Structure 1
């Protein structure tokens, strides 16, 4: 089983995903901490991610791009704000230009990820918080919900190859 629940809360400015994976917490943690594993699922199918940088430390930054089927490249960044290995991480996430610089007009989101044992596997709860209703609506129109659901749907295959 992968994504078992998702919920958009306009009042709280959040998008929450709950997923379960048939692997222990330590293995699921590696799909976030190891950039080669992370890039196998971070983009939705057909839009693979390439992490050019992944400094997985508090205050560390990541730089990545997703490649589209027509050769498009969309850049993004993370700033790690908290780590509690192997059960939690928090990061800011945003869009970047071709040089990797944040696109301020798009703003940033904050994501908190919690991993916990569940029935012999791992439950992952990811809560993304938006800066405003307008940002939440704009990213929803861009397909963030479907994209995250489809991206997380690829984690099980990464774990199977582990």
Structure 2
């Protein structure tokens, strides 16, 4: 494995999680992996769970409504609303857990994702601001760091496969 940057930090005083992850792939491919449903569902869940998107329209004011589904069929729904998009550079979403009928469980979190490419490697910087410390602590308790690390590794494998096509 090449030396690719990965940093994960939690700041409870600002209720923020910061993640930096570098991928050995072109920016356009990494951008598509985050913004196209058919690619996103291939990696956006820690195995053995699967990501299943019910609705996704990647545009300002649009949304992604999806479930992480366990092998036993247990569904954990989330609703994301796209609040800002700068093509291939940055997008922001408001994220909340939800029920199967798209009713959000507030408070939620604001995700700010930035993309940059240098020497064929793409860096993704993610800042997740939680509206409450309780929500941040719940994320940590649920194994967010371990799950997110796992999904980043799946994305890396998927990007390697897609790069070869």
1:115, 1:125 within 8 Å by CA — same for their partners in 2? yes
Match of 1:35 in 2: 37
> Aligned equivalents of 2:87 and 2:127: distance in 1?
17
Match of 1:129 in 2: 129
Task: Report the number of matched residues.
Answer: 160
Superposed CA RMSD in Å reads 1.4
Match of 2:56 in 1: 54
CA positional deviation for 1:73: 0.9
Match of 1:12 in 2: 14
Match of 1:113 in 2: 113
**Secondary structure of 1:59's aligned partner:** coil
Match of 1:77 in 2: 79
> Aligned equivalents of 2:55 and 2:25: distance in 1?
26
1:82, 1:89 within 8 Å by CA — same for their partners in 2? yes
1:3, 1:152 within 8 Å by CA — same for their partners in 2? no
1:3, 1:153 within 8 Å by CA — same for their partners in 2? no
Change (3 A) 1:79 1:3: farther
CA positional deviation for 1:118: 2.9
> Aligned equivalents of 1:118 and 1:146: distance in 2?
27
1:51, 1:65 within 8 Å by CA — same for their partners in 2? yes
- The answer as to 2:145 corresponding to 1:145 is yes
Match of 1:24 in 2: 26
Unaligned runs of 5+ in 2: none
**Secondary structure of 2:25's aligned partner:** coil
Q: TM-score, normalised by structure 2?
A: 0.91
CA positional deviation for 1:3: 6.0
Runs of 4 or more, structure 1, over 3 Å off, are none
1:3, 1:17 within 8 Å by CA — same for their partners in 2? no
**Secondary structure of 1:58's aligned partner:** coil
CA positional deviation for 1:142: 1.4
Change (3 A) 1:71 1:3: farther
Which deviates further from its counterpart, 25-34 or 133-142? 133-142
Bigger RCO of structures 1 and 2 (CA < 8 A, at least 6 apart): 1
